[in-house]
Amino acid sequence: MNILIVEDDRPIAENLYDFLESRGHQCDFASSLAAAGTLLQREQFDALILDRGLPDGDGALLARQLRGEGNLVPILMLTARDALNDKLAGFDAGADDYLSKPFALKEVEARLLALQRRATPRATAEQMHFGALAFDPAAQAATLAGAKLVLPPKALRLIEVLLQQPLRVFSRRELETAIWGRNQESSDNLRSVLNTVRRALGSDAPVEIVNVHGLGYKLVSR
């Protein structure tokens, strides 16, 4: 998952960041509503961890703004405000879940994963196959000849995109937008994800990702 942490308490933000990154998620951090708004305009996130008491306002304002714009990114409010009225105000603003401080890091991840599962459209739950390579959107898992591929989230997203239309050439721009939500300044980011998937597939796999010079990349059978 690509997660935005909006938290002005640096130690808490760092603990969340380090733990979630160690669990295979990609994280970004903002310490204010203004910084969060800038990041949300630049990038697409899978989930948002949102504090209420921020230096430039209540996190509930950001949640309400996002919902007003039609942005349905799952929001987990993480705050010291644990009174019932505070929780109700958070849900009314558009939060999907509410967790009071102090909290357990494992519970934060469990709640985020639950929010992601609920946000995944049922229409995308059907497994995709191309030869021996398969991807299960509901489980966010890829397999090769029935064996699970242990991959980080962005590598799994690359497989999911390529499996939607095997043999089709996807441009660098298309893949970057699908994986990060925007174009990347350097091609090194996409190249790194491609190399991760290629290593996981192995040199003798019955399917491979090939580079079509000047056009992009496609999934083919050997």
- pLDDT 10s digit of each residue in the chain, 222 long? 889 999 999 999 999 999 998 888 889 999 999 999 999 988 888 899 999 989 999 999 999 998 888 888 899 998 888 788 888 888 888 898 998 888 899 999 988 888 877 765 544 457 899 999 999 988 889 999 999 999 998 899 999 999 988 888 988 888 888 887 767 778 899 999 999 999 999 988 899 999 998 889 999 998
Q: Give span(s): CATH 1.10.10.10, the chain.
A: 127-221
With residues binned 3-state (H G I as helix, E B as strand, rest as coil), the percentages for the chain, rounded to 5, are 45, 25, 30
Whether the CB-CB separation of 8 and 31 falls below 8 Å is answered with yes
Predicted TM-score of the model (pTM) = 0.56
Domain with residues 2-119, CATH architecture: 3-Layer(aba) Sandwich (3.40)
Exposure string (b/e) for 59-93, b if CB count within 10 Å is 16 or more? bbebbeebeeeeeebbbbbbbebeeeebbebbbeb
Fold of the CATH domain 127-221: Arc Repressor Mutant, subunit A (1.10.10)
Q: Give span(s): CATH 3.40.50.2300, the chain.
A: 2-119
